A and B are shown apart, each in its own frame.
Chain A
Amino acid sequence: MAEEHDHEHEPLPEGVPPVTRRGLLFNLGLGANVVAASMIGIPIIGYVFSAVFKEKAQQAWIPLGRIEQFPEGQTRLATYTNPFRRPWDGFVADIPCWVRHIENDNFQIFAINCAHLGCPVRWFPQSGLFMCPCHGGVYYEDGSRASGPPPRGLYEYEYRIRNGHLEVRGGETPNLSESV
């Protein structure tokens, strides 16, 4: 009633909607809910998207084994533990890679994943080739592309040697978007 009374006395200029108690309350309520929803929503987005933000563990040096396990001139399968391992991960935390010991401190560590579509490549010492079981991609012993659909050679991980141990920076499965 009070509002109507006011309007009668002071008509608002054309085009300006009257501010009523109800309207104010509605807008206030709407705004407060937007604030409250973002207080809930932003942490949820952070929770779901946290996987995207680079984590320190991705850069971690992960032990692969003693150098003696990799005889010179040979290429061997090795596994390391996923630095993001969760206690219930089981076998899946054992990430395989190919270790090629060239000579002395010279190594090459290849991701197991074919550069084409990620299938596990296999090493054949007899012909000195990595072959992919999926679509017949083939790589030479130094990881360079030999033939088939892969658009590039095998992905290589960085490595270092500490106290006779080989360590690898394998905290991320490589793919074509950002090649290791």
Chain B
Amino acid sequence: MKIFASIYQWLDDRLALGRLYDQSIGHRIPASASSWFYVFGSATLACLAIQLVTGTCLALVYVPSPEFAYASIEYLDYTQPFGWLLRGLHFWGSNFMVALVTIHMIQVFLFGAYKYPRELTWVVGSTLFLCVIAMAFTGQGLRFDQDGYWGLEIVMSILGRIPFVGMEATHLVQGSPIISGATLSRFFTIHVFVVPAVIISLLVIHIRLVLLMGISEYPVAGKKIDPETYREDYEKLVERTGERLMPEGGGKDLVFTALILTAIVTCAVVIGPKIPNGPADPSLIHTVPRPDFYFLSLFAVFALMPPYMESFSIVYLLPLSIVILFAVPFISRGQERHWSKRPGAIITVVLVMTSLVILAYEGLTSPWSPHMNAWSGVPIQPQFVQGRTPLEHVGATIVQGKQCRNCHSIDGTGGKRGPDLSGVATRLTYNQLVRQVLQGDGNMPAFGRHLSPYEVTALVSFLHTLHPENEPPSQNSAPEPAPPISTDPY
């Protein structure tokens, strides 16, 4: 025992370990800061540790070349001992990290902890948040599977909309005028060297700021921040109620972190890593790219936005929202910290989070995407063809054969891009149907050039029968002109 004591003393003499402890994990925090709401930052840090360790190990096997990326992931999954587990830990670690860093931000926002004197801590933290998102994005690109490849194409198209330098920006990011091995190498370098280096540097600043400014005391409704006296009051508070972060104040952090780590391991073992969906091969175009969950809402925004707004939003609104994120402590300068006195903050969080969740759900179901195989693969229910004339049967065949079902469902099956056709006859008259089919409108292409007059008649006669039994098809108020092909035998 004595030997350990003297080794410690020797080290302490050189490294000033005692002072280091006093100034870091042993520094004094207000007792009220030891709260179950204050555990998300340290849990995010634990995720970062997992990501650094598992990421370094994965890089021992992964090959960042289009030819071998997929094979090396398969090797990790099936051959390398514990490779599947490490991939699972890295994948779930990233999911948890994105979630925890978001919760951490929401907590800081709702508790007004970004206010004086901690504005810079928020700004640095927001940059760290963007870095985490960048890691998530570049990481999913490294799988370099079909989704990864076309995900890159989508991002490059977004970059291409930047005015004047769009093409140069895409070439810079792609490393080449066409997505290729150079692109994968860039993403690898960014994911493995550049962003981690930025994260570690910013984290040092973030933690230094936390230590210098102190962990914010639990907000009390009605207690105002006065920049004149705040620091003095804080020091007095720490003196009065303070305790050391470790071991007194940090017990909750430790328990929560352990829970999170266990959850990550459980997910990695039970659900496992994300399996890549086939090696990237641009000539296999029968693919419907979907991003990982953190980008589903952004994906949905681009699908739902009216086309005239798209370029504007990409070029201005996206950067503007980032600027607003950074500017939070400078915009919201009220002296009140407690959420019960800041309804605006609560409304902001509720609005942003509900929008994100709804958009992510929409992104997951993507009702705007046509079902590319519905025309050949989805059946038509008997009640829609029973008792119809031969002409109407031909029309039903045309609905399938001309890919109408890719965008239009009948009785709920088929694409959701256009309206369901089950009751279309109650909405459009015979003549309106003809016009819609021939000329298209808005979101529907014109089929005039690819349908003979006979086919149009057959198709529209069929569509005209699609109405509920007790609801007649819609009629012109004026008498309809005779249909182009007479059903009268004479």
- Enumerate chain A interface residues (CB-CB to B < 8 A): 48-49, 51-52, 55, 58, 77, 79, 82, 84-86, 88-96, 112-113, 116-122, 124, 126-129, 131-136, 138, 140, 146-151, 171-173, 175-178
Are B162 and A177 touching (Cβ within 8 A)?
yes
Quote the shortest CB–CB distance from A81 to chain B (angstroms).
10
Contacts of B177 in A (CB 8 A): 51, 55, 58, 84, 171-173
Which one of A79, A91, A172 lies within 8 Å of B178 (CB-CB)?
A172
Q: Is B419 in the interface zone, CB < 8 Å from A? A: no
Are B402 and A146 touching (Cβ within 8 A)?
no
Stretch at the interface among B95-103, B150-158, B208-216: B150-158
Stretch at the interface among B60-68, B78-86, B217-225, B381-389: B60-68
Which one of B149, B165, B181 lies within 8 Å of A88 (CB-CB)?
B181
For chains A and B in complex, what number of residue pairs have CB atoms within 8 angstroms?
196
Are A122 and B285 touching (Cβ within 8 A)?
yes
Quote the shortest CB–CB distance from A58 to chain B (angstroms).
5
* Chain B window 462-477, contacts with chain A (Cβ cutoff 8 Å), 1 for yes, 0 for no: 0000000000000000
- Contacts A131-B406, A178-B166 given; does A171 touch B178 at CB 8 Å: yes
Contacts of A149 in B (CB 8 A): 303, 307, 310
Look across to chain A and name the residue whose beta carbon is closest to the beta carbon of B449. Answer: A128
Are A122 and B303 touching (Cβ within 8 A)?
no
Which one of A91, A121, A129, A146 lies within 8 Å of B279 (CB-CB)?
A91
21 A-B residue pairs with Cβ-Cβ distance under 8 Å, sorted by A, are A51-B174, A51-B176, A84-B178, A86-B180, A86-B182, A88-B65, A90-B279, A91-B280, A91-B281, A91-B282, A92-B181, A112-B282, A117-B158, A126-B402, A128-B449, A133-B372, A135-B368, A146-B446, A150-B307, A177-B161, A177-B163
Complex alpha-carbon distance, A178 and B177, angstroms: 12
Complex alpha-carbon distance, A140 and B442, angstroms: 14
- Contacts A88-B66, A175-B170 given; does A134 touch B289 at CB 8 Å: yes
Complex alpha-carbon distance, A168 and B477, angstroms: 56
Which one of A90, A117, A129 lies within 8 Å of B445 (CB-CB)?
A129
Are B157 and A175 touching (Cβ within 8 A)?
yes
- Contacts A113-B153, A140-B445 given; does A51 touch B285 at CB 8 Å: no
State the majority secondary structure of interface residues on B.
loop
Quote the shortest CB–CB distance from B170 to chain A (angstroms).
6
- Additional 12 contacts, C-beta under 8 A, given A94-B282, A95-B283, A133-B287: A51-B174, A51-B182, A92-B281, A117-B302, A120-B282, A135-B369, A147-B444, A148-B443, A149-B307, A172-B167, A173-B153, A173-B174
User: Range of interface residues on chain B?
Assistant: 35 or more
Complex alpha-carbon distance, A120 and B153, angstroms: 9
Quote the shortest CB–CB distance from A165 to chain B (angstroms).
19
Are A90 and B67 touching (Cβ within 8 A)?
yes
Q: Is B286 in the interface zone, CB < 8 Å from A? A: yes
Contacts of A176 in B (CB 8 A): 157, 160-161, 166, 311
Contacts of A138 in B (CB 8 A): 445
Quote the shortest CB–CB distance from B278 to chain A (angstroms).
10
- Contacts A92-B282, A119-B289, A131-B372 given; does A175 touch B180 at CB 8 Å: no
Are A82 and B174 touching (Cβ within 8 A)?
no
Complex alpha-carbon distance, A55 and B168, angstroms: 12
Q: Is B172 in the interface zone, CB < 8 Å from A? A: yes
Complex alpha-carbon distance, A7 and B151, angstroms: 70
Are B440 and A146 touching (Cβ within 8 A)?
yes
Contacts of A148 in B (CB 8 A): 443
Contacts of B158 in A (CB 8 A): 117
Complex alpha-carbon distance, A95 and B307, angstroms: 27
Contacts of A150 in B (CB 8 A): 307
Are A89 and B67 touching (Cβ within 8 A)?
yes
Quote the shortest CB–CB distance from A147 to chain B (angstroms).
5
Are A77 and B369 touching (Cβ within 8 A)?
no
Complex alpha-carbon distance, A19 and B312, angstroms: 56
Complex alpha-carbon distance, A119 and B370, angstroms: 13
Are B281 and A117 touching (Cβ within 8 A)?
no
Contacts of A86 in B (CB 8 A): 180-182
Are B289 and A91 touching (Cβ within 8 A)?
no
Contacts of B283 in A (CB 8 A): 77, 79, 91, 94-96
Q: Is B53 in the interface zone, CB < 8 Å from A? A: no
Contacts of A95 in B (CB 8 A): 178, 282-283
Contacts of B2 in A (CB 8 A): none
Complex alpha-carbon distance, A132 and B150, angstroms: 13
Are B161 and A122 touching (Cβ within 8 A)?
no
Are B370 and A136 touching (Cβ within 8 A)?
yes
